[in-house]
Chains A and B, each alone.
Chain A
Amino acid sequence: MRRAALALLLGAPAAAAPVAVELPRKVFVLYRGDAAPGGIPGSQSLSFHTRAEVWFDHLGLVAEYLDASKPLPDPAALDSARAVLTWFADEAAFGDPKPVCRWLSSAMDAGLPWILLGRTGLRTKAAAGFPAIEPDCGDALRKLGVVLDAPRPVDSMSVAVADADQAVVGFERRPDPSELPAVPAVELLPGGTALLTLAFNDGGAPRSVPVALTRRGALALDPFLLYANREVTPMEYRWVVDPLAFFGAALRMKGLPRPDATTLSGRRMVMYRVDGDGFFNRSEISRRQYSGEVFLRQVLEKKPDLPFSLSLISGYYELNLYRAPEALTLSRLVLNRPNVEPGSHGFAHPLVWSSGTLALSIPRYRMDPEREIVASARTLEERFLSPRKRVSVFQWTGDCLPSESDLLLAERAGLLGINGGGGRFDAEFPSYAYLYPMSRVAGSARQLYAPAYNENDFTGLWTGPYYGYRDAIETFRRTGAPRRLKPVDVYVHYYSAEKFAALQAYKQVLAWSESQPLIPVWGGRYARAARDFFKMRVLRTGPRRFMLEGAPELRTVRFDDEPGVPDLAASQGVLGFKREPGSLYVHLDESARREVVLAAEPGPGPWLEEANFEVEGWSRAGEGLRFRKRGWGRAEGTLAGLRPGRGYRVRCAGREWTGRAGSDGRISFSLPDSERWGEARETTVEALR
């Protein structure tokens, strides 16, 4: 027996290393570049981009756009492809849809699901009658798992909803099949799951399934995808399907980690950003003061514990009007404050990047991207900043539609570009459909969008009501719960300090943000996390084991509807976790390689549940912890996994907090002094005897 055991040991092969399988994160969206809405080239005006892509950010996926009016790449060679998606506004979007249909067939053959949204787009215009489906496209649709006929004319007595999956359909609006004169006629082939079934009693085919998970993808056809009412201003949108449930199921995301750029140390990020417009406007609050000075005195100086990302327009100083010593002194004062992250808002503030239309009229100057982007930052540094400070952020201006070369210019200059996009979600805009995604792609470059609109969009483009920015609070609330889609982005221009009502509204928003459990960060910090969102590689290394590679600035992944928690002993680079309704947020360290292993229990602690500061150098020290922290304001944190009833001491920079862990093994501590970024401070947590 012993010999047999020994022989077995000696002969046993080495334990096989786990095979890491990369989880594809990209969804390839087909669009027609030669028919871009509004004549604006690129994808930024597409319905998918403006209405739905935000959900793909939330799922941790990356949308990439393929121009279907040009030859498409081999689907089998697409890097990290998870699915292909189409959302056309017309039934016949192509003169000859056959190449696109054949491409979609081969994509499905290569194992990629096809998500068909809105209108088919792949019909062919006929001389008479409704556009028909050619055989190649019919084959592609059958491969998807559906057969489409011409839309069925209906009225309120001939059609009704026979069945609807309540978890997916009726999210912001109930399906209403007789609202339009015709509905899609869809036969779902075996292997699919109907999510919405219509019943007819007009003598034709008795059923249609316009929303379904099919054997090779999914479909959600108009008018059961997104309701749009163009009869009112602003236009009304409502999701009929629940985008998260629908896309999550179609893309088979259950149980997978979602990189998340909204959260840091278990708390939602909040940033405070200001664009340089109106810095030298005379304020009606005090006619002797520039708006910039009003902002400095009434906001910056009164809020030393909040980080502000402030930008200036360097072209101002080319104009005699703003060369006065007081103007230069003011600029210097504002940008050099310790709680200010300096940024550039261009040289002459391009209004339209593609045409070079400028806001500032500077003699003998025509738009030059190098001057607008790189030189403006360097000018501000040289003229105003102390040697320890640098301009690291560029806040896009005007229409915020820089070209690929503009974006690359900023990147090469080491500037984090942000702005454009945004969104609202409040009583006036009561739908998730008004939220932009995290970014926009231009060629090989990516532009980070602002997470929310600035006060311009709340004040009728600055024509009134000037107190409109107070409504941003509702947007922040709704984008934080029940689903946290965005960080809080308190984003205005200096001209908010020009009007009394606007400044009051801004202060109201500031006060709200300070009353919430958020983690304040500079705009650049958010931008680095958002940038790394697109770089992170997610690999499955075993059942419920995931490796996260690259992206050290992205410090959170999220699991939705996950009953388990990270096994802290088995995981690597995991600081802790926090459970929110429906979501599990896992906090990661600053390394470029972490592994999250899920289990029923986390194992022995302690771990970080949440904090309003960023953590580095985390390590266990006996029953306690050692880490470095950096944050703003009074440091607050919650640690869990401690021994109930045991006393603990938290020490940092000569200050300390003591208390006992509750019966749930948690301590919530705060340290008396205020952090104002500075160097990261050594912090220890030790158990008391």
Chain B
Amino acid sequence: MIFRWGQVAAFFLVLSGAGWLLYPSEYFRGQMHRQEGDRSQSIEFFSYYLERHPYHKGATIALAAAYEAAGRPDEGLPVLLSFYRHRRGDFESGQAVVRLYERCAMKKQAADFRWELVRDLRNMPHPERRQIEAILYEAYQRASAAQDDEGTLRALSALASLGGKDTGYRDQVLRLYLVRGRFDKALAMLRENLLQEPKNVELRRAVVRLYRLRKMDQEALQEAAAALEALPGNPALLGDRASLLIDAKQWARAEADLKLLMARQPKEPAWPQELARCMLEQGRIEDGAKILEALIAQDPDDMRRWWGLVYAYADKGWHGDAAGVLERMHALQPRDEKVFDTLLYEYQSAARTEKAITLLTRRVRAAPADGRRGRQLAYMLQEEERFAEAIAEYRRLVGLDPADAALWKALAFLEESRGSRDSAIDTLERYIALFPEDPKAAEDLAGLLAARGDRKRAIEILKGLFKAPTAAPAGAVQ
């Protein structure tokens, strides 16, 4: 014999030991099942394995995967869920459940489970903020895309409560409340935040704005006052209160705030403008005007400042002063038609029509082809009973624009009223030559001719009037 019995026995003993050590475990053997077909073998194996080794992670994942590979993912859900609930707070398995819900197109259940996962993660001894934020952020974006307000608010509130300096989520919650008209909720949220941040200017202003939005001006004023107690002299809050006081027509109180603001922000043009307005409203025209003049002096090229002063005077009936300002504006911007027109108007309002006429005359001389200004001038002269000049201007205008019927008629009327009958007849004849279809003009002409004694011509004109069917002149009412 080559070997002794003892050596043979030792050999088999070692072999058995090695086999015992190396032989694959049941689980490992299960993993070696061929992945094919309907996975019934794998499913059966891992189901049985889990009965005897509950909550074995590898077997759980393998069983769920087998169900998915068999095209039965819904059956894998209870398996994963059961495992997760045994190991609450396990991020990896929790995410696996969420993803499986989504793959099974069970969006509502996925969304609900996310909240369960977040709650569990928060209850962990050392919660991982990033994990929680990632889940909540996704929940927020998906709910926001679907305009699921409840879901969005819930996610945003949870994100905001995670802490940190980023106020973006809180602002989004506020925005959502406001957009959906849930003002009471928005206000409650703002108040709650103010308790923690009483000196937060933006929060304070948001509350004031919210009251204004609801047209609760008294409450807004009270809020502004409380805000200024907490933050004395804050320009933004002062500006808000001043604006409220102006809306409430409390000019004196607004004036006090605006003076403070001007002292703090001397370059801001809005404050002197509003201050001037307050003074004007209280009847202190000169004081208000002084403020506006100072404002203009700071930036003479800003025409809005000039207009502010013009309106300040004009609204209070100080047309002469308004005209004075406009004269200065006109000197700066001679081509500005709005300035020109307003100046004319203010001259007339201030009973200084002769100045308006002088201004217009200068314009017409500089631009004789400007028919509009010529007409304005002619009319003004007529109103001022400077008839000769008016007639001269009308004559010039009809030469410039013979197609304007109104000019002819105005001229003829004026000539007649000044006793220049022959001129009026001549004007009407020339008019009718251009506008033969105007029966009224023909009648007027006939009347003038008859008055002059030229009855034959008058009758001819009237006969001509009754012969053809008269077409109404353009614009006449049928």
A interface residues with partner B (beta carbon < 8 Å): 155-157, 160, 173-174, 176, 178, 201, 227, 229, 231-232, 236, 238, 284-287, 426-428, 430, 464-468, 470-471, 474, 499-502, 504-505
- Known A178-B175, A285-B36, A501-B69; judge A157-B147 contact (CB<8 A): no
Q: Which residues of chain A come closer than 8 Å to B144, judged between CB atoms?
A: 229
A238 B71 Cβ-Cβ under 8 A? no
Any A CB within 8 A of the CB of B265: no
Any A CB within 8 A of the CB of B216: no
A501 B36 Cβ-Cβ under 8 A? no
Nearest-neighbour CB distance to chain B for A679, whole angstroms, equals 40
CB pairs A–B below 8 angstroms (9 shown):
A176-B179, A178-B178, A231-B137, A466-B69, A467-B68, A470-B71, A501-B71, A504-B70, A504-B71
Q: Select A500's contact among B39, B146, B175, B209, beta carbons within 8 Å.
A: B39
B105 A157 Cβ-Cβ under 8 A? no
The complex places the Cα of A173 from the Cα of B143 at a distance, in Å, of 12
Q: How many residues of B contact A (CB 8 A)?
A: 31
A232 B145 Cβ-Cβ under 8 A? yes
Q: Which residues of chain B come closer than 8 Å to A504, judged between CB atoms?
A: 70-71
B178 A157 Cβ-Cβ under 8 A? yes
A229 B141 Cβ-Cβ under 8 A? yes
A238 B145 Cβ-Cβ under 8 A? yes
A231 B213 Cβ-Cβ under 8 A? no
B38 A500 Cβ-Cβ under 8 A? yes
Q: Which residues of chain B come closer than 8 Å to A229, judged between CB atoms?
A: 141, 144-145
Any A CB within 8 A of the CB of B37: yes
Q: Select B105's contact among A176, A201, A471, beta carbons within 8 Å.
A: A471
- Known A157-B213, A285-B37, A426-B105; judge A467-B178 contact (CB<8 A): no
Nearest-neighbour CB distance to chain A for B443, whole angstroms, equals 40
Q: Which residues of chain A come closer than 8 Å to B179, judged between CB atoms?
A: 156, 160, 176, 178
From A287, A428, A467, name the one whose CB has the most chain B CB atoms within 10 angstroms: A467
A465 B70 Cβ-Cβ under 8 A? no
The complex places the Cα of A285 from the Cα of B209 at a distance, in Å, of 68
B73 A465 Cβ-Cβ under 8 A? yes
Nearest-neighbour CB distance to chain A for B421, whole angstroms, equals 48
B69 A500 Cβ-Cβ under 8 A? yes
B70 A500 Cβ-Cβ under 8 A? yes
The complex places the Cα of A232 from the Cα of B35 at a distance, in Å, of 33
CB-based nearest B residue for A170: B147
Nearest-neighbour CB distance to chain A for B72, whole angstroms, equals 8
- Known A156-B175, A157-B210, A284-B35; judge A467-B73 contact (CB<8 A): yes
The complex places the Cα of A468 from the Cα of B104 at a distance, in Å, of 9
The complex places the Cα of A505 from the Cα of B174 at a distance, in Å, of 45
Q: Which residues of chain A come closer than 8 Å to B71, judged between CB atoms?
A: 466-467, 470, 500-502, 504-505
Q: Select A287's contact among B36, B69, B210, beta carbons within 8 Å.
A: B36
**Residues 172-228 (chain B) with a chain A CB within 8 angstroms:** 174-176, 178-179, 206, 209-210, 213
B178 A427 Cβ-Cβ under 8 A? no
A465 B141 Cβ-Cβ under 8 A? no
Q: Which residues of chain A come closer than 8 Å to B363, judged between CB atoms?
A: none
CB-based nearest B residue for A227: B145
B36 A284 Cβ-Cβ under 8 A? yes
Q: Which residues of chain A come closer than 8 Å to B175, judged between CB atoms?
A: 155-156, 178
- Give B123-165 as 1s and 0s: 1 = Cβ < 8 Å from A's Cβ atoms: 0000000000000011001101111000000000000000000
Nearest-neighbour CB distance to chain A for B105, whole angstroms, equals 5
Q: Which residues of chain A come closer than 8 Å to B137, judged between CB atoms?
A: 231
- Known A176-B179, A465-B68; judge A157-B145 contact (CB<8 A): no
CB-based nearest B residue for A460: B103
Any A CB within 8 A of the CB of B107: yes
Q: Which residues of chain A come closer than 8 Å to B209, judged between CB atoms?
A: 157
CB-based nearest A residue for B178: A156
Nearest-neighbour CB distance to chain A for B370, whole angstroms, equals 24
The complex places the Cα of A499 from the Cα of B144 at a distance, in Å, of 37
The complex places the Cα of A46 from the Cα of B298 at a distance, in Å, of 51
B68 A501 Cβ-Cβ under 8 A? yes
B147 A499 Cβ-Cβ under 8 A? no
Q: Which residues of chain A come closer than 8 Å to B174, judged between CB atoms?
A: 156
| Extra A-B contacts (18), CB below 8 Å, given A232-B138, A466-B71 | A156-B178, A173-B147, A231-B137, A231-B141, A236-B142, A284-B36, A284-B37, A285-B36, A286-B37, A426-B105, A465-B73, A466-B68, A467-B73, A499-B69, A500-B36, A500-B39, A501-B68, A505-B71
Nearest-neighbour CB distance to chain A for B243, whole angstroms, equals 10
B103 A468 Cβ-Cβ under 8 A? yes
The complex places the Cα of A160 from the Cα of B180 at a distance, in Å, of 10
Q: Which residues of chain B come closer than 8 Å to A286, judged between CB atoms?
A: 37
CB-based nearest A residue for B105: A427
Nearest-neighbour CB distance to chain B for A491, whole angstroms, equals 19
The complex places the Cα of A465 from the Cα of B68 at a distance, in Å, of 7
Q: Which residues of chain B come closer than 8 Å to A428, judged between CB atoms?
A: 102, 105
Q: Which residues of chain B come closer than 8 Å to A430, judged between CB atoms?
A: 146
Nearest-neighbour CB distance to chain B for A196, whole angstroms, equals 15
List the 9 shortest-distance A-B pairs measured between CB atoms, nearest first. A501-B71, A504-B71, A236-B145, A156-B178, A284-B36, A156-B175, A467-B71, A231-B141, A232-B141
Q: Select A465's contact among B103, B145, B178, B210, beta carbons within 8 Å.
A: B103
From A428, A470, A499, A501, name the one whose CB has the most chain B CB atoms within 10 angstroms: A501
A501 B70 Cβ-Cβ under 8 A? yes
Nearest-neighbour CB distance to chain A for B313, whole angstroms, equals 24
Q: Which residues of chain B come closer than 8 Å to A178, judged between CB atoms?
A: 175, 178-179
Q: Which residues of chain B come closer than 8 Å to A287, judged between CB atoms?
A: 36
The complex places the Cα of A499 from the Cα of B65 at a distance, in Å, of 13
Q: Which residues of chain B come closer than 8 Å to A201, judged between CB atoms?
A: 213
CB-based nearest A residue for B103: A465
The complex places the Cα of A26 from the Cα of B176 at a distance, in Å, of 42
Q: Select B142's contact among A173, A232, A466, A501, beta carbons within 8 Å.
A: A232
A500 B37 Cβ-Cβ under 8 A? yes
Nearest-neighbour CB distance to chain B for A652, whole angstroms, equals 40
Q: Which residues of chain B come closer than 8 Å to A155, judged between CB atoms?
A: 175
CB-based nearest A residue for B140: A231
Nearest-neighbour CB distance to chain B for A352, whole angstroms, equals 30
The complex places the Cα of A144 from the Cα of B141 at a distance, in Å, of 37
The complex places the Cα of A176 from the Cα of B178 at a distance, in Å, of 11
The complex places the Cα of A466 from the Cα of B71 at a distance, in Å, of 7
CB-based nearest B residue for A503: B71
Nearest-neighbour CB distance to chain B for A620, whole angstroms, equals 50
The complex places the Cα of A417 from the Cα of B175 at a distance, in Å, of 51
Q: Which residues of chain A come closer than 8 Å to B142, judged between CB atoms?
A: 232, 236
The complex places the Cα of A229 from the Cα of B73 at a distance, in Å, of 29
Q: Which residues of chain A come closer than 8 Å to B146, judged between CB atoms?
A: 430
Nearest-neighbour CB distance to chain B for A205, whole angstroms, equals 16
Nearest-neighbour CB distance to chain B for A640, whole angstroms, equals 39
The complex places the Cα of A176 from the Cα of B73 at a distance, in Å, of 38
B147 A174 Cβ-Cβ under 8 A? yes
Q: Which residues of chain B come closer than 8 Å to A236, judged between CB atoms?
A: 141-142, 145
A427 B36 Cβ-Cβ under 8 A? no
CB-based nearest A residue for B186: A156
CB-based nearest A residue for B102: A428
CB-based nearest B residue for A285: B37
The complex places the Cα of A325 from the Cα of B213 at a distance, in Å, of 82
The complex places the Cα of A220 from the Cα of B102 at a distance, in Å, of 34
Nearest-neighbour CB distance to chain A for B373, whole angstroms, equals 27
Q: Which residues of chain B come closer than 8 Å to A468, judged between CB atoms?
A: 103
The complex places the Cα of A287 from the Cα of B34 at a distance, in Å, of 10
Q: Which residues of chain A come closer than 8 Å to B147, judged between CB atoms?
A: 173-174, 176
The complex places the Cα of A176 from the Cα of B175 at a distance, in Å, of 10
CB-based nearest B residue for A155: B175
CB-based nearest A residue for B181: A160
The complex places the Cα of A468 from the Cα of B142 at a distance, in Å, of 21
Nearest-neighbour CB distance to chain B for A408, whole angstroms, equals 42
The complex places the Cα of A285 from the Cα of B71 at a distance, in Å, of 13
The complex places the Cα of A500 from the Cα of B144 at a distance, in Å, of 37
Nearest-neighbour CB distance to chain A for B447, whole angstroms, equals 44
Nearest-neighbour CB distance to chain B for A28, whole angstroms, equals 33
Q: Which residues of chain A come closer than 8 Å to B105, judged between CB atoms?
A: 426-428, 471, 474
Nearest-neighbour CB distance to chain B for A226, whole angstroms, equals 12
Nearest-neighbour CB distance to chain A for B62, whole angstroms, equals 15
